[in-house]
């Protein structure tokens, strides 16, 4: 028996750990196109900003795999999967057999078509999703005496990258197509607090705009926006999002929609092939739709479920919710669940303090908390997250949810009892 896992991110590693916990004997082989395995991708911006060193980048150090008898092949890109022969083909032409296969290839950065832009030929243009990107950008800044940068994309990746560049002393301009930054999770009030904090750090924020042209011969020198504005720059970071890395499955017969379609056991439509993480698309009965949620906790949970099932223990995935926690320009933020007021039949509870730049929003639907946003004050955010995850009816204590001292004492006795008995997990981090 050989368990073959394509990808060494959170989904792949979680699966390998669960497999090894149930099966101590059979071979586990992991493949990654990257040069390094077991590092934390959420930390690559902190590495660029010199907030963490190389040692802290690893959440599973190299010796970890050897200790658990897990083989890892780095710099190995898979270009084809052949289910009939149970083989994967690598870019170098090597054919690797498997008995059970997990596709955990994560996402690829989206690069839009822009006049004059050819990232492979023009220096100074980068995407930012891997540790290598962080090292390449740092080297380019030093070698070319870069003092200004443009970041295309005001989502989470773009803002975390902006934060790192600001830490290095660069003047940054953010260009965002939407009417506000972090538009997927933040409303206008939350977005304006973060925007104001960025502007105080000397950052320019251009919304309702995008880059239509890049100028420069061998190196980038300028970007032209749709509004007509021109910005001189030696560095452009493209951070408008990621898409599931599934192109190599084109001729495999594995069902792919936006991502690899899986059931509650993380199984694909082909026997002995599983998928998990940012590349997987799961139908969530709670939402009534299929989705890919590209965040670390969801990827890890899906990987665990895949690992259990690959090793023969039948486990079902219960679905995940979007969760993001990040500090931007000194402002702590957390968003959990469905934070949009555009959903039908929801009740919105809000609190804001102009003096402290604090904003809180809770979204309630059918008596249950379904989403929350915290900006500037994230105390007790873990308790609200627990209420969302456990689908607790908050009707009886709704009026207490926005109290400054809201805590476990306000929760139903039955819920508190289950917490005390360890039946529930409360997210207090």
DSSP string, 101-164: EEE---EEE-----BT--TTTSBTEEE-SSHHHHHHHHHHHHHTT--EEEEE--SHHHHHHHHH
* Confidence (pTM): 0.90
User: Higher model confidence: residue 286 or residue 340?
Assistant: 340
Nearest to 368 by CA among 350, 382, 357, 384: 384
- Four-point Cα dihedral 14, 18, 21, 26, nearest 10: -100
Q: Is the pLDDT of residue 87 over 90?
A: yes
Q: Output the pLDDT for position 427.
A: 41
Residues 241 and 68: beta-carbon distance below 8 Å: no
267, 290, 310 - which closes a domain: 310
Residue 115 resides in a domain: no
Average pLDDT over residues 36-60: 93
Provide the residue range defining the domain that includes 384: 338-420
Same domain, 148 and 166: yes
Kindly state the tokens that stand for 384: 């609200």
Same domain, 103 and 166: no
Q: How confident is the model at residue 287 (pLDDT cuts 50, 70, 90)?
A: low
Q: Is the pLDDT of residue 288 over 70?
A: no
Q: How confident is the model at residue 339 (pLDDT cuts 50, 70, 90)?
A: confident
Lowest mean pLDDT segment, chosen from 2-16, 30-44, 400-414: 400-414
Q: pLDDT per residue over 243-286, tens digit each?
A: 999 999 999 999 999 999 999 999 999 999 999 999 999 987 66
240, 265, 280 - which closes a domain: 240
Q: How confident is the model at residue 319 (pLDDT cuts 50, 70, 90)?
A: confident
Q: Output the pLDDT for position 357.
A: 86
Whole-number mean pLDDT of the chain?
91
Same domain, 56 and 10: yes
Kindly state the tokens that stand for 382: 């873990």
Q: Output the pLDDT for position 143.
A: 97
Residue 296 resides in a domain: yes
- The fraction of the chain above a pLDDT of 70, given in percent, is 94
Domain at 158, CATH number: 3.50.50.60
Average pLDDT over residues 206-234: 96
User: Higher model confidence: residue 344 or residue 127?
Assistant: 127
Average pLDDT over residues 56-61: 92
Dist. CA 269–CA 308, nearest whole Å: 18
Same domain, 249 and 236: no
Same domain, 234 and 132: yes
Same domain, 104 and 133: no
Q: How confident is the model at residue 405 (pLDDT cuts 50, 70, 90)?
A: confident
Same domain, 152 and 189: yes
Q: How confident is the model at residue 325 (pLDDT cuts 50, 70, 90)?
A: confident
Dist. CA 400–CA 406, nearest whole Å: 7
Same domain, 143 and 184: yes
Q: Output the pLDDT for position 419.
A: 65
Q: Is the pLDDT of residue 139 over 60?
A: yes
Place of tokens 């979680």: 14
Q: How many domains does the chain have?
A: 3
Helices 188-200 and 156-167: crossing angle in degrees, nearest 10, is: 20
Nearest to 4 by CA among 228, 19, 40, 193: 19
Sign (positive or negative) of CA dihedral 261, 265, 266, 270: negative
Q: Is the pLDDT of residue 420 over 90?
A: no
Residue 58 resides in a domain: yes
Lowest mean pLDDT segment, chosen from 82-86, 204-208, 328-332, 352-356: 352-356
240, 268, 295 - which closes a domain: 240
Same domain, 135 and 201: yes
Pairing of strands 280-284, 289-291: antiparallel
Tell me, rounded to whole angstroms, the distance of Cα 363 from its chain centroid: 22
Kindly state the tokens that stand for 85: 């022969």
Dist. CA 7–CA 37, nearest whole Å: 9
Residue 426 resides in a domain: no
Q: pLDDT per residue over 167-193, tens digit each?
A: 999 999 999 999 999 998 888 999 999
Kindly state the tokens that stand for 178: 């939407």
Residue 186 resides in a domain: yes
Q: Output the pLDDT for position 323.
A: 86
Q: Output the pLDDT for position 426.
A: 43
Average pLDDT over residues 98-125: 93
Residue 144 resides in a domain: yes
Which residues on neighbouring strands pair with residue 336, listed in sequence order?
323, 372
Same domain, 156 and 168: yes
Residue 320 resides in a domain: no
Same domain, 210 and 287: no
Average pLDDT over residues 373-386: 89
Residue 330 resides in a domain: no
Q: How confident is the model at residue 230 (pLDDT cuts 50, 70, 90)?
A: very high
Same domain, 13 and 100: yes
Dist. CA 245–CA 379, nearest whole Å: 36
Average pLDDT over residues 364-391: 89
């Amino acid at each position: 028996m050989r368990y073959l896992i394509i990808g060494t991110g959170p989904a792949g590693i979680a699966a390998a750990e669960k497999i090894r916990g149930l099966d101590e004997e059979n071979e586990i082989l992991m493949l990654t196109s990257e040069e390094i395995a077991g590092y934390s991708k959420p930390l690559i911006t902190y590495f660029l900003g010199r907030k963490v060193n190389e040692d802290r980048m690893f959440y599973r150090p190299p010796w970890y795999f050897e200790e658990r008898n897990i083989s890892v092949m780095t710099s190995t890109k898979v270009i084809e999967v052949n289910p009939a022969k149970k083989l994967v083909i690598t870019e170098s032409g090597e054919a690797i057999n498997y008995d059970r296969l997990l596709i955990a290839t994560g996402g690829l950065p989206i690069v839009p078509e822009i006049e004059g832009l050819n990232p492979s030929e023009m220096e100074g243009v980068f995407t930012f999703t891997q540790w290598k990107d962080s090292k390449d950008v740092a080297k380019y800044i030093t070698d070319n005496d870069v003092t200004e940068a443009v970041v295309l994309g005001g989502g989470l990746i773009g803002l975390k990258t902006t934060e790192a560049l600001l830490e290095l002393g660069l003047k940054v301009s953010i260009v965002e197509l939407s009417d506000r930054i972090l538009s997927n999770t933040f409303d206008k009030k939350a977005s304006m607090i973060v925007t104001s904090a960025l502007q105080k750090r000397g950052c320019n924020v251009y919304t309702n705009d995008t880059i239509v042209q890049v100028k420069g011969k061998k190196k980038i020198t300028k970007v032209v926006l749709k509004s007509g504005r021109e910005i001189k720059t030696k560095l452009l970071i493209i951070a408008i999002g990621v898409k599931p890395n599934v192109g190599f499955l084109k001729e495999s017969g594995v069902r792919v929609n936006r991502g690899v379609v899986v059931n509650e056991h993380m199984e694909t439509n082909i026997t002995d092939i599983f998928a998990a993480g940012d590349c997987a698309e799961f139908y969530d009965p709670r939402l009534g739709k299929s989705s890919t949620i590209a965040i670390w906790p969801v990827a890890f949970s899906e990987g665990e479920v895949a690992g259990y099932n690959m090793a023969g223990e039948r486990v079902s995935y219960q679905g995940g919710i979007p969760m993001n926690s990040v500090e931007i320009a000194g402002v702590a933020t957390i968003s959990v669940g469905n934070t949009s007021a555009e959903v039908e039949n929801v009740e919105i509870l809000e609190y804001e303090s102009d003096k402290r730049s604090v904003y809180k929003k809770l979204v309630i639907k059918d008596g249950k908390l379904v989403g929350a946003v915290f900006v500037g004050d994230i105390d007790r955010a873990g308790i609200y997250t627990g209420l969302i995850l456990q689908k607790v009816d908050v009707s009886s204590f709704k009026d207490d949810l926005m109290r400054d001292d809201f805590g476990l004492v306000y929760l139903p006795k039955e819920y508190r009892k289950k917490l005390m008995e360890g039946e529930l997990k409360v997210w207090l981090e």
